[in-house]
Structures are given as structure tokens and as C-alpha cells.
Amino acid sequence: MESLTFLSRWIEDPDPSILSDAALRLARHVPEAQSVLGGLLADPIQRALAGLGDVDPTACASLSDRVRAAIACGEGGVAVDAGWLAALEAEAKDADPTLWPLAARAAVLLDEGREQAARMALSIQDLPYAFPGDVNAVQVDVFSAGDRVLPALHVDWARKLTGLACEALVTDLRSMGLWAWPALQVMEPRQLTRTLKKILRRPRRIPPGGVGLAAAYLEQVGGSPGGTLSGADGFILDLARATRKRTHR
């Protein structure tokens, strides 16, 4: 814990106000944080996101809660009906594109058919035009299934898919979606590094924690964000570092 200065301080004096869903999902892999969160969280979806319990997404009322519960199930390996997940993804796509990649990721994790669909879609070498601020189906497939699909693709095509996905990184960071985290290590690092450094130089309209998430992404692909972060940004960066240590052993 010596290098995790901000996280260490938070564990000693936890501040629940900085607990974004992204932070909770990273904390799933950090037992030191989980031990604190176990006594801090009462909300069933938050507990499920942190790996502290299960939740039934089909019983949740709002679209946002259904997606949040579904991604918790996906990352926890809790089975959910594939047809229900497909309907959830379709609803998220139409109603709130910032939830779409999360619903897709839950489906990929829990439904082999959704993974195969992404594999087929990403093998078609035809890039759509990416409107600024929009999220398109190819970007969603990269974020949700890229860790499983990109290593099998030709390096030049994977590079082009990375470039397209980079155009949605600002939206990811603004929504604190953690969309890119699963696929970062198989995406083309130079494009990611350029994009993330540009965002970090001018982090416009990025909420607390988003700059830390950008720094975590940059470190994940071998870059160095520089500077010192604190608050929600320092917390999420330290969680990402701890997660990386736990999952890359």
C-alpha cells in the first residue's frame, strides 16, 4: 500500500461522496477497499458493483438501475437471461447512449452469442463516420468485446478500430462509464496515448474522478500522466493501480 497514498488515506478516513460506479467496479478487485465498503454501502446495486453481493437487474425499476445491476452481474459472473440482456441493450441504445456500452458489456460477459455478434461485426472492415459526442455500434463493440476480439484481428484494422474508439473517450470520461478499461491493453497504444494526453491537458466538462480515470487509462497503456491528483481523481487512479496489480499477477 506504500505507493497508494490517496487510497491509503481514504481507507483510514473514507469519504462516501467520491464513490462513483466506476470506483466501485474497480474496488471489486481491491480487498483493502472492499473491507471498508462492506460497512459503508447499504444500496444493493452499489454493493453488487463492488463485489459485495448480488442484485437482480430484472427487478430494478429505472433503465439506469437495470444497466448498473446488469454490469454488476456481468463482472460478477451472475447469470442473467440472454434475451432480457438483448432487450436491455436495445433500450439503452435508444434511450441513453451513455448506458449502451455498459449494457453491451454485460451482455458480452454473460452471453456467448453477443460476443460472437461483436466478433462478426468487428471483422467487417468498414468504419462508420463518428459524429462528435455520438456513440456508434462499432465503438460499442470495441469497448464491450475488444479484449476478446481485437487480438485476433489484423494489426492495421485493430489500429483503425482503436482510432474510432478514441473519438468516444471524452464521452466515456464525462459519463464515468469505464467503457474502455477492459479493452485498453489490446488497443493500439500510441493513438490512445495521444488522445488521453490531449484530454488531460484540457479536461473540459469532465466531472470529479474523470481526470483520474483518464490518468488511469493512460498508465494502463504505458503512458505517464504526470502531476499529482487528489479527491475523487486521486482515489480512482489509486484504485486503478491497485486493480492492475491484482489482475496482472
Q: What is the pLDDT of residue 246?
A: 74
pTM of the model: 0.95
Give the residue from 64, 120, 95, 98 showing the smallest Cα distance to 169. Answer: 98
pLDDT value of residue 248: 58
* C-alpha to C-alpha distance for 231 and 152, rounded to whole angstroms: 39
Q: Please give the Cα distance from 82 to 88 (Å, whole number).
A: 10
Tally of domains in the chain: 1
- What are the CA-CA distances from residue 92 to residues 68, 71, 158, 220 (Å)? 11, 13, 26, 28
Compute the distance between CA of residue 123 and CA of residue 57 in angstroms, rounded to an integer.
31
For the chain, which ranges sit under pLDDT 70?
Answer: 1-4, 248-249
Q: What is the pLDDT of residue 171?
A: 96
- The pLDDT assigned to 4 comes to 59
Domain assignment of residue 178, given as a range = 5-247
Model confidence over 47-99: pLDDT tens digits?
Answer: 999 999 999 999 999 999 999 999 999 999 999 999 999 999 999 999 999 99
pLDDT at res. 1: 35
Q: What pLDDT does residue 21 have?
A: 98
Residue 226 has a pLDDT of 84
Residue range 116-136, pLDDT digits in tens? 999 999 999 999 987 877 899
